[in-house]
Amino acid sequence: MKLGTEDRKKTYIAVALFALAVLAVFYELWPSSSDPTVVAPPPVASSTPASGAKGKRPAQVFSKFDPSLRTDLLKGSEEIAYQGSGRDIFHAQAEPPKDIEKVGEVRTNHGTPPPPVATNPPIPLKFYGFASSNNKKQIFLAQGEDIFVAREGDIVKGRYKVVHVNPNNVEIQDVLSNYSQQIPLTLPNS
């Protein structure tokens, strides 16, 4: 039976490499006595006011691994009243300036003209056609090359509601700004 030890030079090199690998593993895993682990004392809460400000709470430093519940800090946060900026987080558009909302007010600042009155932009939908079946009126509206089919009460493009279809026009309401506009029932010029 042969063990592969016929070439003694290769066997010695393999044994030496194995011994170096074992020594490297022991060196990495064995704790070193020359590198003592330093344990820092836990931070202590400071009771001095931060930068000498009057009426401010004292600056407190706590360990980030402190598992105790600090009810005194929770009570302090309960006393704080939220004061928002007045921004509406549900609409992407900015609020109109406060001066424009007051339409009837006129300034008298020695010749300064009154601010321009805010007007709603026209609804970009145009009449394209209509259909009627079983007393249900359908209206075809176009914006550019897009054609939309709607009935009374339907919302087109997620913004424009078809309020009422009359014999001569259709009433469309912009549901975001609550602005209504009547679009005449005339065919577009091709």
Q: 126 and 145 in contact (C-beta within 8 Å)?
A: no
Pick the CATH number of 126-184 from 2.30.30, 2.60.40, 2.60.300, 1.10.238: 2.30.30
Round to whole Å and give the CA distance between 66 and 60.
13
3-class DSSP assignment, residue 112: coil
| Model pLDDT, residue 1 | 54
112-145 tens-digit pLDDT: 777 777 788 888 888 888 787 777 778 898 888 8
Beta-carbon neighbour count of residue 185 at 10 Å? 15
Per residue of the chain (190 residues), give pLDDT as tens. Answer: 566 667 889 999 999 999 999 999 988 888 766 555 555 555 555 444 444 455 566 556 556 677 788 888 888 888 787 777 767 777 777 666 665 545 555 555 566 777 777 788 888 888 888 787 777 778 898 888 888 999 889 999 988 999 988 888 889 999 888 889 888 887 656 4
Which residues have a Cβ under 8 Å from the Cβ of 5 and sit 6 or more positions away?
Answer: 11
Round to whole Å and give the CA distance between 25 and 19.
10
Which residues have a Cβ under 8 Å from the Cβ of 169 and sit 6 or more positions away?
Answer: 182, 183, 184, 185
- Indicate the pTM of the whole model: 0.38
